Every structure is written in C-alpha cells, then in structure tokens.
Structure 1
C-alpha cells in the first residue's frame, strides 16, 4: 500500500468524483482532513510518526497507535474520541464513528476485514477477526469474532 493511493481512495470514498471544489472541501472538512493526518501517521517513519500522532491527539482527540494498518477507503464522519490500537489491522472501505476504541485485550489486537462500519461508542478488542460486511452498532462491546454479514446491536 502506498500513501498517495490511500489518500486518493479516502477522497473517492467521501466525494466519488475529483473536482477542484471537492479538493477544497476535502482540505476544509474536518472529517476528511483527519483521514489525511491518519494516513500521514500511518506512513511516517520514526520521529514524524510521533508528530502526526500528537497532532491527532491534540486537535481531534484521536489516538493512533504505531503499527496500526488501515486499508484503502477510510471514512471518519465524526472525527473525535477514536482510538486505533497499535497492532490493529483494518481492511478496505472502513467507516468509523466517534468515540470508538479498537484496542488490545491481553496483548492481542483485532483484525477487521473489508466493508466494516463501526458506529459510535463501541469497543472492539482482543484476538478476534471481524469478517467482511459487518456492521457494529452503537454502544457495542465486541471481544469475539464476527462472521461475514453480521449486524451487532
């Protein structure tokens, strides 16, 4: 995965078409701007990672752990209070809402596959696999693997 492709996929997930006005919206809108900073943190080496991580914490209250991998098409509609654990692996077309934690349980992190949406105030932890096309509803606690197409309420 490359930085430029990841940022372009995030842009296309939000705006579908590349125009000058959409490019300006992308840079002004906090929901899309935060995806850019997450990508910067994800692809930055050493010292630069810590700068972008601190920027995310300070301005968006988003904690991005070193080593977290996120696939193409990230969407963060309400960018506040999110935790991405350092060992988490997240697939393509991922949507995450406010106050969600993707973290460790007994030193293991989750693997989240493609086309997953996690709604507000949810927690996903542990050595689990969240399969494709899963929706995790608001106020959910997930510490067990979820099969393809599951909806957690």
Structure 2
C-alpha cells in the first residue's frame, strides 16, 4: 500500500513517470499537461488533496479546487479530494470513473473507463487495493474487501470478495481465472 508519509512532490513525480515524463518543467511535461486532461486532473487532485483543510493554504485552495472541479466534469472522474491513492496512478481513458472517499489504492494502479470502487451502502467502507492493480473497462469493486498486489480485474467484473495477490479475476461475481496477475499487470505499467 502507499506510504502516507510521502511528500506531494514525490507522488506527483511518480504520476508523471507513468506518463513517460522523466523531467519536471520540461517541454515533454508541458506538452503532456496541455494535451492530457487525465494528467491535469491527477495533478490538481494531488495538489487539492494536500491542501485540503490546512490553514496555510486557505487562500490558494479555492483556486486549486476550481481547476479540480472543472476537470472533474470534463473527464468524468468522481474522486473526492483526500482519497488515499498511491503514486503512479494511471488513467488510460477518461469517463465514468467513481472512487468512494473511503477507498485506498496502492502504488502504480491502472484504471480504465467505467470503473467503480465503492461501498455497499451509503456511509459504508470501500475496498483497500494493493500495488500494481489494473481495473479493466467497466470493472466494479464493491464493499469492505481487500484486493492484493499485482491483480488484474477483467472487463465488466464485479468484485465483492477478497482477492489474493497475483490473481486475475473476471465475471459476475468475479472469480479467479488464473494466478499470473504479476505478469499481466506489468503490461500496463510500461
């Protein structure tokens, strides 16, 4: 799982690396920032999450929040500021991505469009997701469950039970179809 003591700059650098950007303030970063709404969303999400509720950012936070909300509508992502998400987050497509505020995502997670990670009921707890997990198009993870490291959740799968490390799951409800998730999850990290 993500280390909560990381500085916001370190997390943003990890997010940039998965986009193929090695140098901050480079021409490549500027091009990606302009061309990619998902990259802009991640950066404003990280900044807003780090500033939320802190007095010293009281004047700047509304501006950051405004940019974040604009990109939230533009991309279709519904992720509350402050949601615990590790560095290296990657969105391959935008649209209809919903993460419950109580969800916890580890490092290097990949999320396709149509993914929901949520609670069973209003006020319920959402899944805890390990590192290097890939949620394919339309995947759902619902309830207070744990998803291990190096897991691939297939397109349209509905996960309602714990998933062990290195599993590939598919179906409704999701069932383990293989245990070589470490090989398959690495495909989306590069």
Q: RMSD in angstroms over aligned alpha carbons?
A: 2.0
Unaligned runs of at least 5 residues, structure 1: none
Residue 52 of structure 1, CA deviation: 5.4
Aligned length: 153
Residue number in structure 2 paired with 1:14: 19
1:59 paired with 2:91, answer no
Residue number in structure 1 paired with 2:38: 31
1:4-153 to structure 2, matched below 5 A, reads 4-15=9-20, 17-18=22-23, 20-28=26-34, 29-46=36-53, 48=62, 51=66, 54-106=69-121, 107-153=124-170
Output the TM-score relative to the length of structure 1: 0.89
1:119/1:137 contact within 8 Å kept? yes
Residue 2 of structure 1, CA deviation: 2.0
Counterpart of 1:105 in 2: which secondary structure? coil
Residue 24 of structure 1, CA deviation: 1.6
Unaligned runs of at least 5 residues, structure 2: 1-5, 54-60, 171-190
CA distance in 2, matches of 1:81, 1:12: 24
Counterpart of 1:59 in 2: which secondary structure? helix
CA distance in 2, matches of 1:15, 1:129: 29
